[in-house]
Amino acid sequence: MKKIALLLFSIVFSCLLVYAETKQPEQAKTAPAAEKKAEPAKQLQWAKYPIFTATWEKAHEYCENLEESGFKDWRLPSIDELRSIVQKCPETAAGGKCLISDKNGKLSLNDYSKQDCRGCRRGGFNLPGNGWFWSASQMTGTDHFWVISFKNTRISNANKAVPYNAYCVR
């Protein structure tokens, strides 16, 4: 008798589970799939050491030919990539007050504000170095490129013939 009761209980319980599952709203059925985490964005890898005092063309050539850590796909970083590593300076960090940005198509002198791009005394970078660093971002309609100061996170522009420093990125 106990076996029959246990069998009947199992059948009734299984039927209730199937019934409850069919009565769930569509959103509840698909919730576990929606909880999957998105793939993380590719992290930038920075060269171990910068090249010091090179014209923009020499810095660009250096990065294009760099072989480091088993990789050959190095390049000069964009101004946005340099701004992504700014620390303690919200004005010139990525998304800050300074409008200069490849992503937003803001690379002309009309987009530049000395006030908003002046940097911060305590600002810095999580890479070693001091002085001005080249970006691959060209100022619209000129032979100037956007540069950033590792000393105070200030953003400016410079003629490509002037020697500055550069970090390569991949």
The DSSP string of 40-74 is PPPPP-B-SSPEEEE-HHHHHHHHHH--BTTB---
Higher pLDDT, 109 or 37: 109
Q: Which residues of 35-56 are buried (b: 16+ CB within 10 A; e: fewer)?
A: eeeeeeeeeeebbeebbeebbb
- What lies within 8 Å, CB to CB, of 89 at 6+ separation is 96, 119, 120, 122, 123, 124, 153
Mean pLDDT over each residue of the chain, to the nearest integer:
83
pLDDT grade, residue 101 (50/70/90)? very high
Query: Which residue matches tokens 């929606």?
Result: 34
Least confident of 16-25, 40-49, 104-113: 16-25
CA trace torsion 18, 22, 25, 26 (10° rounding)? 110
Query: Does the pLDDT at position 160 exceed 80?
Result: yes
The residues with which 155 forms a beta bridge, in sequence order, are 148
- What lies within 8 Å, CB to CB, of 99 at 6+ separation is 106, 111, 112, 113, 116
Q: The tokens of 83 are what?
A: 């701004």
Maximum alpha-carbon separation in the chain:
96
pLDDT grade, residue 64 (50/70/90)? very high
pLDDT grade, residue 3 (50/70/90)? low
pLDDT grade, residue 114 (50/70/90)? very high
Secondary-structure breakdown of the chain: helix, strand, coil percentages, each rounded to the nearest 5: 30, 20, 50
Higher pLDDT, 86 or 38: 86
**Report field, pTM of the whole predicted structure over 0.85:** no
Query: Does the pLDDT at position 32 exceed 70?
Result: no
Cα separation, 144 vs 158, whole angstroms: 5
